[in-house]
């Protein structure tokens, strides 16, 4: 946790233990992380719904896909299917995917990568139609859930955290690469 590098909300906990005769240690900082609880089943009723997405480039390479659901928790695998229509049979060099997060606190924004991978079975292919499954793991570690908060006096305090699954399609030719951003919800409990 590097709070000085990212926009953040900081809470301090000061604890003094007096063991008769010893000097108190003052000036040591300990950071604590406070996340809202986001229960997917209770707060996001449609989190099990499949999500469809797509995009295309100027060479008529069209990528359509489906995520198996739209809500996840750390430690889960994001899975889905990609369908590629490639009538001109342009070489698809590879498709990279990544899980990206964004913090936005009081108009300050920070982006971070959670995990990266490659869609297996697509590299260096020219097929007219390709269908391939993909998966990427959300690390089983403490991650801030997807949330929006507005509060304080006159709703002046604002904080959001969001996540995207990013597909980077790399194709042969000039200006043929393109990307697809698919938002998903990250909770703290299923």
CA angle (128, 132, 136) in 5-degree steps:
145
Domain CATH code at residue 88: 2.60.40.640
Report yes or no on 83 lying in a domain: yes
Report yes or no on 34 lying in a domain: no
Domain count of the fold of the chain: 1
Quote the domain boundaries for residue 88. 40-186
Q: What is the pLDDT of residue 27?
A: 60
pTM of the model: 0.81
Report yes or no on 19 lying in a domain: no
- 98-132: pLDDT as tens digits: 999 999 988 889 999 999 999 999 999 999 999 99
> Does residue 42 carry a pLDDT above 70?
yes
Mean pLDDT, to the nearest integer, of 151-157? 73
């Amino acid at each position: 946790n590097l709070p000085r590098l990212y926009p953040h909300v900081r809470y301090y906990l000061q604890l003094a233990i007096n063991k008769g005769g010893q000097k108190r240690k003052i000036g040591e900082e300990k950071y604590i992380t406070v996340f809202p609880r986001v229960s997917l089943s209770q707060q996001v009723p449609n989190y099990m719904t499949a999500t469809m997405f797509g995009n295309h480039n100027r060479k008529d390479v069209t990528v359509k896909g489906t995520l198996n659901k739209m809500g996840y928790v750390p430690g889960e695998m994001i899975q889905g299917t990609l369908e590629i229509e490639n009538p001109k049979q342009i070489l698809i060099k590879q498709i990279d995917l990544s899980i990206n997060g964004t913090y936005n606190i009081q108009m300050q924004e920070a982006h971070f990568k959670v995990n990266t991978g490659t869609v297996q079975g697509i590299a260096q292919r020219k097929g007219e139609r390709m269908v391939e499954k993909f998966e990427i793991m959300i690390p089983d570690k403490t991650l801030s859930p997807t949330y929006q908060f507005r509060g304080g006096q006159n709703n002046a305090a604002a904080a959001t955290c969001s996540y995207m699954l990013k597909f980077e399609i790399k194709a042969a030719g000039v200006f043929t690469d393109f990307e697809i951003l698919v938002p998903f919800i990250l909770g703290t409990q299923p």
